[in-house]
Amino acid sequence: MRDALGLLTTIGRRGGGLSSRALRWFPLVGAGLGAVLGAWWWVAEHWWPVALAAVLVVAADLALTGLLHVDGLADASDGLLPHASRHQRLEIMRTPGVGAFGVAAVATALLLRTSALASHTPSIALLAAIWCASRSTVASVPAIVPYAREQGIASPLLDGAPRWPILVAFPAATLAAADVGVAGAAAVVATVLAGISVVGLGRRRLGGFTGDVLGAAIVVGETVGLLVGSARW
């Protein structure tokens, strides 16, 4: 659990070294992070205008995750979206700079997340469920999808990786539905499908996943989930 917290958040440090055992804690860490953000969302809307409260929630998420997932979205966008060979894509994603695709993807995601939060009544359960589902989805990827690099940050997660974490999305959907109705369940389903789509794109264009692809899957999944949850059902 310490490894999962150390990898997914800025809270604490990693334990004895990152391994696939950390993946089984991803759903719980995601749910806890979402619950904290949901509580902050509720408090912020009592103190500030709706739009400003939404910005503060997005900023809190960036702070608690250390911009790790947003960085993954930027790198994955630069590597997956332009025309390039598999080798070129991997090299682009390894470079520290951010290109036009990455800037556009991150800016769009932040704007959509902020707008979706501003158009929805604060719900701790909804954010806990969506954040749980996004991390449950990526936690199952190392056991199902090959790693695109010979060696990288996600290498320690491969040996003995579990397949079951994605199943946690089902109780997460139930939790969200109990609080906000069908919109909550649909938001969780959309989160999972969007995350799978990003991983699928990585599989097609890279031959597998990378740490950046997983980060992008989390951000894209959450963003799509928020959009679906804030729709006029």
Question: How confident is the chain (233 residues) per 10-residue block, as mean pLDDT?
Answer: 88 68 94 97 96 98 95 96 92 90 97 97 97 97 92 77 94 92 96 98 95 96 97 85
How many whole angstroms separate alpha carbon 41 and alpha carbon 99? 32
**Could you give the C-alpha distances from 92 to 82, 95, 199, in angstroms and in order?**
10, 5, 18
Range of the domain at 166: 2-229
List pLDDT tens digits, range 9-51: 998 665 556 788 889 999 999 999 999 999 999 999 999 999 9
Q: For residues 217 and 233, give the distance between their C-alpha atoms in angstroms, rounded to a whole number.
A: 25
Domain count, the chain: 1
The residue among 46, 72, 44 whose CA lies nearest residue 59 is: 44
